[in-house]
Amino acid sequence: MEHDLAFRLSRVEAEGWKEAQRVMVDDALLADEGRISMLNPHMNDPERARWHAGFSKAIDAGGCR
């Protein structure tokens, strides 16, 4: 993977993490994959997958930054 692409994707993943931090108080949202998907601003992979990875990692970490 090219360095520029790897860096860009790491930023996309960080965006997902940040969004999860913002919405973590909404348990109903976190239980609904469709609603989570609607928050993802990226339409195509690999960006869409990396954003979701960041979001999921933040949820799994329980809000720890």
Q: Whole-prediction pTM value?
A: 0.77
Per the domain annotation, does 41 fall within a domain?
yes
| 65 inside domain | no
Residue 39 in any domain: the answer is yes
* Residue of 21, 43, 23, 48 lying closest to 35 (CA atoms): 23
**Domains identified in the chain, total number:** 1
Residue-wise pLDDT for 14-65, tens only, equals: 999 999 888 877 776 777 888 889 999 999 999 999 999 999 999 888 755 4
Residue 43: domain span: 3-60
List the one residue out of 7, 21, 5, 11 whose CA is nearest residue 56: 21
Residue at 40 is within a domain: yes
Which residue in 38, 42, 34, 33 sits closest to 15, CA to CA?
Answer: 42
Which tokens sit at 25? 């108080």
Strand extents, DSSP E, 1-65: none
